[in-house]
Amino acid sequence: MKELGKKKVMITGAAGFIGSHLVDQVIRMGAGVVAVDNLSSGSWTNLSRVQGNMEKVEGDVRDVAFIGRLMKRVKPDSVFHLAGSASVPRSVEEPLYDFENNCLGTVNVLEAVRVNVPRARVVFSSSGAVYGEPGLKKIDEALLPNPISPYGASKVAAETECMLYNRVYGVDVVIARVFNTYGQRMTRFAALDFLKKLRQDPEHLEVMGNGDQVRDFNYVADTVRGLLVLESKGVAGKLYNLASGESRSVRDLAVILLRVLGREKCVAMTFTGSSWPGDAQYWDVDISRIKLLGYEPGVRMEQGLSQLVEWFNQEVQ
């Protein structure tokens, strides 16, 4: 297998939060990148500082003819498929839109690979939402999916297609179950929402739910590191949890953020008591499988939140 720096790499969802950071790192490693995005939620601004061999292509993976033509022209060595919807609340409101983006779009990418570049390595970005509400169980890859939102269900369906394309057609695909990622360029979710609320009211922070929801918050550079490990060492047809391996409550996240801001004793926290449909309450993630490949998360929450705050103050109006 070629080193990544010598490959031609296609990244779907490249103008989004995680995708743009992945582009940054792949370019730094010396690879040529074809960055694909429909710009429904991403922005080419996220890639404005990229210096290297990159082609930007605006298009939608739901368009089977588009992705087929592009795959035939580019003939990538590796494909990172990150395009799709990534909002549980929106999936509850628009389940068909969510399914088309996450499942149909994934099948279109897999079929384009099968027909045009059958030897390409594919890394599919799934989600921890496939597990649903596992209770107090440690979440390892042997735990059966049990989604509680249309978003989680669409990712389970997409994973099933990935495994089928591997088993039936030999497509070299590996699946990353990505958990809550935070960092620069994020557009929503808890840490960013907290900063926006504090900008509006520096003395009060309202937290959705009771604050006891437990998550695994992973800094974006570590999520990217995990995706790259899977590209080079992941076993085709296998699933890998991609997280920090440290569980924290939403309340803990808020407290640590206030500490980073130097406002831990100046802000009153209140809780709404309820969250949105499909919001899981407890995720404690086992990452031992991906660690066997050499993955090690390297950014502590305090450090990651400091980077997020610096970016927020400079870039978010």
Q: How many residues does the chain have?
A: 317
CA distance 314 to 120: 39
Q: Which of 88, 145, 85 is nearest to 278 (CA)?
A: 88
Q: Which of 168, 293, 292, 183 is nearest to 229 (CA)?
A: 293
DSSP state of 52: S
Cα 251–Cα 256–Cα 262 angle in degrees, nearest 5:
130
CA distance 295 to 225: 7
CA distance 189 to 306: 17
Distances (CA, A) of 210 to 257, 278, 281: 17, 15, 10
* Beta strand 54-58 pairing with 78-81: unpaired
Q: Write down the catalytic residue from 131, 151, 165, 240.
A: 151
Q: Is 17 helix (H, G, I), strand (E, B) or coil?
A: helix
- Residue 117 near residue 76 (C-beta atoms within 8 A): yes
Whether 151 sits among the annotated catalytic residues: the reply is yes
Residues taking part in catalysis = 151
